[in-house]
């Protein structure tokens, strides 16, 4: 087995802006595993919020190169690397390679019948009128996810609601609120029909959520990486956002999903800003979940060949095996 680590930069269409900052490109690492004529690929997005850089993630993968090239299993990989981007790229490449070598699709391997999915469409943090304009440009999309930050958020949601009276709206504060902002905003957001709030408070303040009213479902993102986080989210969140870059691959993500459902959490499947190669394993995970948020490629100026074709109504058909799986 041969392991290749490929760094890539993909331009974002315009600017991607959240409470923590803005970006005009996304930097990813693609892992390619070659065994005979079979090639398996996986992509990850190193994420600064979780103390990851391209260099640190590359080093983590380099460190396990001998084991990977000797043919380690996905189960062994779980013991060798922690949850995070590096393990994700290797795990997804191992799944893809397993499909290619056995001449089976990921759906055949897992015994799942694939269905088309409708993804949320992200509106970057911006002035209220700019966010409304974006919503108008995308008026056929049924579900918007608004990136928020604290000050001015009510005006942002009001503006988008005015521009898209029939759309479903979810919001993501990316840890940008305080308890006071939460208490002021939430009753107003109920009136505006907001369906879900992702990560309102910093992860360190999660305990405060247990004392607050939850008329709108709260979804843990920065606070939920893998199965070991689940118990401390009880009573604080109603949903969790599973991303393969946080779980460290599809293997742990599938296990987290099952454990979370058994514990009564609603499931959202999200993504970092990555290409269709990173969306494909998440598309498998996102079958039958409440909220699908896999619009990474829609935010890019350019995507993989063989990438997902998103309709103007945000529908995604199952990927081809040429892309992944
Ligand atoms: Mg989020």
**CATH code: domain of residue 195:** 3.20.20.120
243 part of the active site: yes
Ligand 1 centroid, distance to 44 Cα (angstroms): 16
Q: For residue 190, what pLDDT is reported?
A: 98
- Total tally of structural domains belonging to the chain: 2
DSSP 8-class letter at 150:
S
Question: Considering the chain, what percentage of its residues have pLDDT values greater than 90?
Answer: 100
Binding residues for Mg(2+), as ranges, are 172, 198, 221
Q: For residue 136, what pLDDT is reported?
A: 97
Burial code (b: 16+ CB inside 10 Å, e: under 16) for 8-20 equals bebebeeebbbbe
Q: For residue 104, what pLDDT is reported?
A: 98
Mean model confidence pLDDT for the chain = 97
- 90: in domain: yes
Q: Phi and psi at residue 283, in whole multiples of 5°?
A: -65, -35
322 part of the active site: no
Question: Considering the chain, what percentage of its residues have pLDDT values greater than 70?
Answer: 100
In the listed set 84, 108, 132, which residue is the last one of a domain according to the structure?
108
Q: Which of 100, 134, 147, 257 is catalytic?
A: 147
Same domain? For 162 and 61 the reply is no
33: part of which helix (H) or strand (E)? Answer: strand 21-35
pLDDT digits (tens, 9 = 90+) for 116-166: 999 999 999 999 999 999 999 999 999 999 999 999 999 999 999 999 999
Mean pLDDT, residues 197-216 taken together: 98
pLDDT digits (tens, 9 = 90+) for 226-254: 999 999 999 999 999 999 999 999 999 99
Same domain? For 222 and 92 the reply is no
In 76-216, where do the E strands start and end?
117-118, 121-123, 143-147, 168-172, 194-198
pLDDT digits (tens, 9 = 90+) for 53-97: 999 999 999 999 999 999 999 999 999 999 999 999 999 999 999
Looking up residue 74, the CATH number of its domain turns out to be: 3.30.390.10
Ligand 1 centroid, distance to 192 Cα (angstroms): 20
Same domain? For 124 and 268 the reply is yes
Same domain? For 233 and 264 the reply is yes
Ligand 1 centroid, distance to 183 Cα (angstroms): 20
Ligand 1 centroid, distance to 268 Cα (angstroms): 10
Binding residues, as ranges, are 172, 198, 221
Q: Which of 243, 246, 290, 322 is catalytic?
A: 243
In angstroms, the CA 43 to CA 60 distance is: 14
The closest alpha carbon to 227, from 204, 261, 193, belongs to 261
Q: For residue 207, what pLDDT is reported?
A: 98
Structure tokens at 235: 């009573």
């Amino acid at each position: 087995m041969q392991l290749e680590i490929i760094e890539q930069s993909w331009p974002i269409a315009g600017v991607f802006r959240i409470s923590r900052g803005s970006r005009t490109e996304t930097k990813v690492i693609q892992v390619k595993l070659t065994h005979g004529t079979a090639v398996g690929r996986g992509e990850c997005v190193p994420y600064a919020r979780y103390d990851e850089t391209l260099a640190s993630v590359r080093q983590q993968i380099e460190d396990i190169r001998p084991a990977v090239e000797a043919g380690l299993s996905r189960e062994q990989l779980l013991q060798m690397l922690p949850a995070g981007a590096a393990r994700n790229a290797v795990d997804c490449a191992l799944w893809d390679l397993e499909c290619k070598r056995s001449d089976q699709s990921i759906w055949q391997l897992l015994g799942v019948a694939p269905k088309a999915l409708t993804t949320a469409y992200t509106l970057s943090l911006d002035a209220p009128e700019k966010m409304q304009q974006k919503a108008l440009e995308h008026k056929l999309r049924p579900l918007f996810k608004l990136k928020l930050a604290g000050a001015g958020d009510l005006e942002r949601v009001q503006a988008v609601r005015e521009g898209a009276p029939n759309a479903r709206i979810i919001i993501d504060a990316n840890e940008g609120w305080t308890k006071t902002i939460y208490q002021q905003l939430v009753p107003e957001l109920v009136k505006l029909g907001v369906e879900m709030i992702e990560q309102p408070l910093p992860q360190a303040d999660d305990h405060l959520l247990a004392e607050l009213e939850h008329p709108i479902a709260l979804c843990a993102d920065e606070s939920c990486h893998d199965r070991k986080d689940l118990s401390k989210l009880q009573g604080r969140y109603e949903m969790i956002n599973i991303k393969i870059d946080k779980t460290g691959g599809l293997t742990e993500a599938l296990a987290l999903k099952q454990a979370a459902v058994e514990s009564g959490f609603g499931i959202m499947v999200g993504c970092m800003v990555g290409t269709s190669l990173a969306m494909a394993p998440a598309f498998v995970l996102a079958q039958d979940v409440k909220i699908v948020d896999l619009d990474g490629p829609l935010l890019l100026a350019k995507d993989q060949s063989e990438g997902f074709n998103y309709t103007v109504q945000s529908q995604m058909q199952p990927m081809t095996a040429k892309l992944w799986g």
